[in-house]
Amino acid sequence: MLTVRAPATSANLGSGFDVFGIALGAPADIVRVERAPETTITVTGTGSEFIPEDPEKNTVGAVADALDAPARIEIDKGIRPSSGLGSSAASAAGAAVALNELYDRGYSRDELVPIAAEGEALVSGEAHADNVAPSLLGGFTIVSNTDTGSNVTQVDASLPLVVCLPETTVSTRDARDVVPDQAPLSDIVDTVSCAATLAVGMARNDPELVGQGMTDEIVTPERSALIDGYEAVREAALDAGATGVTVSGAGPGVLAVCRHDDQRGQVASAMLDAFEAAGIESRAYQTRVGAGAQLYRE
């Protein structure tokens, strides 16, 4: 049996809607595979009661199909679904790495990105790759769509992070419905400026530049309105020393970038307290930008 640990991810980072993503050190999904005449799936772990085991409906089923790699697949969920932490993408990325190895398909990690994105198409209606790319490659990723597919640029960034996850859910489908079709040119100019600043910050491991570049006035204001307590949590994290705060992926997770590891405790406490003051239970992960999916043999 082959085992893969596939990390959670945070997409968008404010200014990079559908483009930027980072791998998180924690949490993660564990995906185990062994050859079988047809694909079967079992799901255990956090939120597993909301995840279909039917291969036609689970992201890993789409990946097994795309790789023509039928298998008995066990998913142990460490990442709650509809969290904004790339739960569905982590399973897909883990399955892509595991099945590629199991059937000796020989694809590189870059080549597995569009294959794992087939799973995302199944659940959100679009094969967006901004969660599967960092889960496969680790670090900070930039996904761009071209006529011939998608290109991914990756940087091994290293930054201290806090991700605070309220006990509420937001489905990516619903969160995509509130994204505006058009935006004023001045907002687009500001977003490009922020995105460029953030990318340079990642390349330099500079939390000030990354935090500065996490602002966007087009998508995040609409998305954050779906998260009760968001503004208070954001302000609390900034007051506690975070350099930037934004919605993680489609939400409701909230991502904060910190200057150093020791600061994460106070930022996490501030975010938890602000959610609690809004009457919402939450949990916080004190983590860092992490590595991509890791393969183990048992």
Ligand X SMILES: N[C@@H](CCO)C(=O)O
Ligand Y SMILES: Nc1ncnc2c1ncn2[C@@H]1O[C@H](COP(=O)(O)OP(=O)(O)OP(=O)(O)O)[C@@H](O)[C@H]1O
**Annotated binding-site positions for ATP:** 80-90
C-alpha 63/C-alpha 219 separation (Å) is 29
Active site residue 172: yes
C-alpha 115/C-alpha 149 separation (Å) is 11
The residue (of 126 and 239) whose beta carbon lies closer to ligand Y is 126
Told to check if 141 binds ligand Y by CB under 6 A, we report: no
The least distance separating ligand X from the CB of residue 249, rounded to whole angstroms, comes to: 3
Cis? peptide before 252, omega within 30° of 0:
yes
C-alpha 16/C-alpha 230 separation (Å) is 19
Q: Residue ranges for the binding site?
A: 80-90
Q: Which of residues 18-77 bind ligand X (CB under 6 A)?
A: 18
Told to check if 254 binds ligand X by CB under 6 A, we report: no
The listed partner (ligand X, ligand Y, none) that binds 209, CB under 5 to 8 Å by sort, is none
Sheet holding 254-257, edge to edge: 244-247, 254-257, 160-166, 282-288
C-alpha 2/C-alpha 22 separation (Å) is 25
The least distance separating ligand Y from the CB of residue 239, rounded to whole angstroms, comes to: 26
Residue 18 burial by Cβ neighbours in a 10 Å radius (0-12, 13-18, 19+): middle
Active site residue 120: yes
Residue 26 burial by Cβ neighbours in a 10 Å radius (0-12, 13-18, 19+): middle
Size of the site for ligand Y (CB under 6 A): 25
Window of 49-57, 136-144, 257-265, 273-281 that interacts with ligand Y by CB under 6 A: 49-57
Told to check if 14 binds ligand Y by CB under 6 A, we report: no
Q: Which of residues 203-262 bind ligand Y (CB under 6 A)?
A: 249-250
Told to check if 234 binds ligand X by CB under 6 A, we report: no
Residue from 9, 120, 141, 220 carrying the catalytic annotation: 120
Told to check if 7 binds ligand X by CB under 6 A, we report: no
- Any idea what the Cα angle at residue 119 is, between residues 117 and 123, rounded to 5°? 115
| Token reading at 144 | 């761009």
The residue (of 87 and 141) whose beta carbon lies closer to ligand Y is 87
Residue 1 burial by Cβ neighbours in a 10 Å radius (0-12, 13-18, 19+): middle
- Tell me the one-letter amino acid at 247: V
The binder of ligand Y chosen from 22, 69, 85, 162 (CB under 6 A)? 85
C-alpha 161/C-alpha 24 separation (Å) is 8
Residue from 59, 172, 191, 243 carrying the catalytic annotation: 172
The binder of ligand X chosen from 59, 87, 141, 172 (CB under 6 A)? 172
Residues assigned a catalytic role: 120, 172
Query: Where does this chain bind ligand Y (CB under 6 A)?
Result: 11, 50-52, 58-60, 75, 81-89, 91, 123-124, 131, 171-172, 249-250
Query: Where does this chain bind ligand X (CB under 6 A)?
Result: 11-12, 18, 86, 128, 130-131, 172, 175-176, 249-250
